[in-house]
Structures are given as C-alpha cells and as structure tokens.
Amino acid sequence: MSYNKRLDGRKFDEVRKMHAKVGIIKRADGSAMFQIGDTIALAAVYGPRELHPKFLQNPERGVLRCNYDMASFSVTERKKPGPTRRSTEISLVTEKALASVIDLDLFPNTVIDVFIVITQANAGTRCAGISAAAMALAHAGIPMKDMVAAISVGKVGDKIVIDLDKEEEDFEEGATDIPVAMTARGKEVTLLQLDGDVTKDEVMEAIKVAKKGCDEIHKIQTKALKEIYKNE
C-alpha cells in the first residue's frame, strides 16, 4: 500500500526534534537525558563497583548490567510497574549494543550498572535509551572506544522511513520496525532488530537511512557532553 505523506508531515528521512542533556542525576557517576519527539529516556550509570554476590564476579573482566524500565505514567494506558518480558529483552539488547565499545578487561570483578527509565513513550524507546546510556557512560568517565547512537527505521506502507512515532508504528496492519544502533567513528552496527516483513534490499536501505540518523544523534551527544565540561 502506498504511503505518500507521513502522518505528522515529516520528510521520510526526517528525525523528530531531539534534545540531550548530560549530568541530570547528581548522585550517579554519570547521567543523561535524551529526548526524540515525545519519547524521553533518562539514564544513570553507577560504577565500576564491586560486584555482589561475589560468585558473579569475573576476575578477567567487568560486567555491564543494563536495566531498562518504563515508568507506569509513560504511556497512555498505565503500565503495571515491574519487569516484563519486553523490558528484560530490551535490557539485554541494550547491554549488547553498548558492551562492544567498553573495554571491560580494565575492570575485573566489577559491575557497571546502567539504569534506563522511560518517562514518556511515543515509540523508539529502546533506541532513545541506548543513546542516553552511551552519554551517561561517557559522563561517568568509563573509557570508551567509540560513541553509540541508536534510531529506529522502518517500513510504513511501501516506504522506508526514519524514527517512526507510535501512530506510524500502528499504521494500517502495523509497520515494520528496525531499531539500529551504530558506533560514531567505526560505523559498526551494534544492534539490529527486525519486527515485520521486508526484503534484503529494503533492510540495506533502512541501514543507510539509520546511519544518517545516527550521525545526527552523535552530533547532539557530543554537543551535550561538551556542554557539561564547559560549565564545570
């Protein structure tokens, strides 16, 4: 089915308005907020700190532990508090999306805890969480080989579009959603999920579009990180 004009009037490769702020939670070792459209993600990093219980410690390398949570007031229909299968899956893919840029060998026996809370959700929350968490890790002073940004791309009707909102995700019989995370310099894909039907060529096109979106997010992340050191 043809999708000639986006529901909110954006161009097919236009990302929603973005905003980032670093250093939002004083008690955390690092913290950041990332907003994209009406989706808001907060991230707080604690550590590296000794991992308890001790049997979970790895004498060879540190452990990155991510926890994604959606506040009960973040969606129109109140979300029951507590973990769900969805939040467990998102926590796991977030860990995988971030782990490759951190040199965990430097921190044996420790854990780096990353808490992500979605305070307002309008699609693309796992990606917003990853973009926020990467800034929070950098703010915590964790040595990182590269920065990570994430954006959702997808197919609505017959078009590949970037940064779907909830209305687009639910369009007709449902859009194909492809969250992508990418490193800033290396352009390595650290997350690629796919929910729906697309051809191989469409996936390749989607990744190309995601790269452009991630480049835009990387610029905003860098600016937000520089901002905090300017003011300190």
Which residues of the chain form contacts with ligand CDP (CB under 6 A)?
A: 75, 79, 86, 121-126, 152, 166, 169, 177, 179
Q: 69 vs 169, which CB is nearer to ligand CDP? A: 169
Nearest distance, CB of residue 146 and ligand CDP, angstroms: 22
Nearest distance, CB of residue 152 and ligand CDP, angstroms: 6
- Cα dist. 110→7, 54, 107 in Å? 47, 10, 6
- Cα dist. 180→1, 126, 162, 175, 208 in Å? 24, 10, 11, 16, 10
Nearest distance, CB of residue 178 and ligand CDP, angstroms: 10
Residue 147 burial (CB count, 10 A): 22
**Residue reference for tokens 């540190």:** 62
Q: 86 vs 226, which CB is nearer to ligand CDP? A: 86
- Cα dist. 224→17, 32, 34, 35, 161 in Å? 15, 9, 10, 12, 26
CA distance 70 to 19: 19
Nearest distance, CB of residue 141 and ligand CDP, angstroms: 28
Q: 37 vs 48, which CB is nearer to ligand CDP? A: 37
Q: 62 vs 129, which CB is nearer to ligand CDP? A: 129
Q: Are strands 148-156 and 110-120 parallel, antiparallel or unpaired?
A: unpaired
Q: 50 vs 89, which CB is nearer to ligand CDP? A: 89
In this structure, what DSSP letter does residue 158 have? T
Nearest distance, CB of residue 74 and ligand CDP, angstroms: 8
